[in-house]
A and B are shown apart, each in its own frame.
Chain A
Amino acid sequence: MSLPDGTPFSWTRRGRCTRLGHDVPHMGGVVPARVVSEMRYDPKDIVPFLFAETDPGFHERCRPGDVIVTGRNFGMGPKMQGYIAMQALGLGLVCESMPFLAYREAVGLGLPVLTDCPGISDACATGDEVEVDFLAGRFVNHTRGTERAVPAVPAGLREIIALGGTGNWLRRWWQRQGAAERA
């Protein structure tokens, strides 16, 4: 499966770990509040502000494949801007827990995301080289030489993430409807 621009989609992310604490709010903790209140949806208007208030310059240092690992209750509130930026940057997100609506937004935006991974914060530190297989449910810390199982992306949500989000999913669905009717 590939993204609409033809980029093949990989269920594995391997790169540098950025570990965050518990109860990181979306507004302020992930992106500045104004990025949300101004209702920015274009990745180029959001990416420069990812973690801008807590980790300035993050967007320039991070590389595709890098993984954000968080504690409990990450990204409170049904807000989407931070996940738009993470998806655009090719990152992965692994959380001890997220409010459900935050999780739903991340999935709907096509971000490889895992939640309900208790204790994952103890399995890594910022700067570690980690590898996450979102399909197999595997979290490897190459720096420490450790590996653990995590809950994989549920089967019913894989297509949405692999296509880059609900919008792309709907676009393809509609195209197939048209193709079926023409056939």
Chain B
Amino acid sequence: MTGAEKIIARACGLAAVAPGDIVFPVPDMVMIHDNMVPGVKRALDELGIDRLAAPEKVVMVTDHEVLYGSARAAQYGSLNRGAARAWKVGRFFDVGRGGHGHVFPMERGMVLPGMFYFDNDRHCTNAGAIGAVGFRMGMEIARVLATGTNWIMVPKTLKLTLRGRLAPGVFARDLGAHVGARIARGALPFNLDYRVLEYAGDLDQFDLAARVGLCSAPTEMGAYGVFFPPSEAILAHARRVAQQPFEPVFSDPDAAYEAQAEIDIAALEPQVSLPGGVQNAVPVSEVAGTAVDHAFIGSCASGMYEDIAIAASYLAGRRIADGVRLFVVPGSEDTTRRLVADGLMQVLLDAGAVLLPAGCGPCNDAVVGPIDSGEVSISTATNNPAGRFGARDARLFLGSPATVAASAVAGRIVDPRSAPRTDRRAGAAPAAPPTSKETVQ
């Protein structure tokens, strides 16, 4: 079996599962996000269901709308707090208490290698970064909350082997977008719809943040899961922060995959996704020089400490260009505190960045930090369809945290390899790419 299949089988109490099986996993955890709570509460109330099957397993997070920018949002906040009380939710992370539900649980040892959990939101695929399985339920999370499980069809798994090492100035988001583009073009023989994409090969170069960055593009293209075999560094992190025992899981050597492919990543250049979708990735040189108005670093794909530290290395001692607004949204409150503690917050503020509370930031329908008609944005959002940040005729580009930060300084899209860089982290070597040792902490 593949790693994901083993995790699903264990959650079902079965010795084995195979793609296509309809099974009922009993999750280790159930996550529900603030934007979904009111609808799910209403649906269960209408059925008269007033208690949850396993409230102690439930983690309710506040990430989609952290800053109440409207009366409606404040009302949703009240509904969230009321639901948490009525349902006796085990762990409720209110405004300012945790951060992004697809980020902080891995940092804090709530999501651990080998775990299976249900989540209403599809970016729970991030769990694959640590070697766990998060499974999206949408509104059907209501049935999980009420009964303790729900049906799933065991997905097929695809295996992508990465060979080589990313060059300096090239990061996981560049690779993720490139993989998405190759699949979209048909250059990789993968249909991602409801598949698990398992990465293999030279993975030790990717720390937790980078693995998270590699989960996003496949998810946006329909993948239901991403899976990484946990590295020694990942396991060391998990052991250090674990809030419960865990058992890492790896794919069998003879595991069956729907399709397999291998790519060489050593020559990859920084990528920028053109407006319309993360899969529209091209080398940054094709769009270099495009003036930008709006920039955003964060999202469940690029909001970990390491992502923001990379961005800060392009902002240190510099100012973002006049006419550009840069929003930085850490993935977790813990990361915000760490940025303060090690001085990187000062770097961000001195550069002129606007810091927003941990969560989705503009990536959730631009409830904060929207964009005006005709403006141009470059960001680390998970995707860039027209209208995602507000005005439908705004042009939205995606890049790595490095590309976004360097572009915000320049006032136009630039290749981060040509931008000055100063790494201010303690012990960090200037101009060096991060290594797994220094970044998985």
> Which A residues are within 8 Å of any B CB, using their own CB?
78, 99-101, 104, 108, 154-157, 160, 166-167, 169-171, 173-174
- Within 8 Å CB of A156, what residues of B? 22-24, 151
- Within 8 Å CB of B429, what residues of A? none
- Within 8 Å CB of B153, what residues of A? 100, 154
- Within 8 Å CB of A160, what residues of B? 151
Chain B residues 112 to 149 lying within 8 A of chain A, measured CB to CB, are 138, 140, 142-143, 146-147
Max chain B C-beta neighbours (<10 A), residue from A100, A160, A166, A170: A170
19 CB contacts below 8 A, A to B, read A78-B138, A99-B193, A100-B224, A101-B138, A154-B22, A155-B22, A156-B23, A166-B140, A166-B142, A170-B47, A170-B49, A170-B143, A170-B146, A170-B147, A173-B146, A173-B147, A174-B47, A174-B49, A174-B146
A141 to B193, CA, bound (A): 31
A170 to B24, CA, bound (A): 15
1/0 per residue B8-34: CB within 8 Å of A? 000000000000001110000000000
- Within 8 Å CB of B430, what residues of A? none
- Within 8 Å CB of A101, what residues of B? 138, 194
Asked whether B90 is an interface residue with its Cβ less than 8 Å from the other chain, the reply is no
A100 to B155, CA, bound (A): 10
A173 to B49, CA, bound (A): 10
- Within 8 Å CB of B24, what residues of A? 156
Closest CB of chain B to A136's CB: distance in Å? 18
- Within 8 Å CB of A99, what residues of B? 193-194, 222
- Within 8 Å CB of B427, what residues of A? none
1/0 per residue B217-231: CB within 8 Å of A? 000001010000000
Residue of A nearest to B195 (CB): A100
Interface size on B, residues (CB 8 A): 20
Residue contact B49 to A157, C-beta cutoff 8 Å:
no
Asked whether B48 is an interface residue with its Cβ less than 8 Å from the other chain, the reply is yes
Majority secondary structure, A binding face: helix
Known A-B contacts: A104-B140, A174-B49. Give 14 more (CB < 8 A): A100-B155, A100-B193, A100-B194, A108-B140, A155-B22, A156-B22, A156-B23, A157-B151, A160-B151, A169-B143, A170-B142, A170-B146, A173-B146, A174-B48
A99 to B195, CA, bound (A): 11
Closest CB of chain B to A153's CB: distance in Å? 10
1/0 per residue B32-56: CB within 8 Å of A? 0000000000010001110000000
Task: Select which of B47, B140, B155, B224 is within 8 A of A171 by beta carbon.
Answer: B47
A80 to B22, CA, bound (A): 21
Closest CB of chain A to B40's CB: distance in Å? 12
Closest CB of chain B to A140's CB: distance in Å? 25
Residue of A nearest to B44 (CB): A170
- Within 8 Å CB of A174, what residues of B? 47-49, 146
CB-based closest 6 A-B pairs = A100-B194, A156-B22, A154-B22, A99-B193, A174-B49, A171-B47
Residue of B nearest to A168 (CB): B47
- Within 8 Å CB of A78, what residues of B? 138
Closest CB of chain A to B9's CB: distance in Å? 15
- Within 8 Å CB of A155, what residues of B? 22
- Within 8 Å CB of B47, what residues of A? 167, 170-171, 174
- Within 8 Å CB of B155, what residues of A? 100
A78 to B120, CA, bound (A): 13
Closest CB of chain A to B261's CB: distance in Å? 21
A143 to B224, CA, bound (A): 41
Closest CB of chain B to A170's CB: distance in Å? 6
A156 to B140, CA, bound (A): 16
A108 to B222, CA, bound (A): 19
Max chain A C-beta neighbours (<10 A), residue from B146, B147, B193, B224: B193
Residue of B nearest to A173 (CB): B147
Residue of A nearest to B137 (CB): A104
- Within 8 Å CB of A108, what residues of B? 140
Closest CB of chain B to A78's CB: distance in Å? 7
- Within 8 Å CB of A100, what residues of B? 153, 155, 193-194, 224
- Within 8 Å CB of A170, what residues of B? 47, 49, 142-143, 146-147
- Within 8 Å CB of B49, what residues of A? 170, 174
A89 to B146, CA, bound (A): 30
- Within 8 Å CB of A169, what residues of B? 143
Residue of B nearest to A100 (CB): B194
Residue of A nearest to B53 (CB): A177
Closest CB of chain B to A105's CB: distance in Å? 9
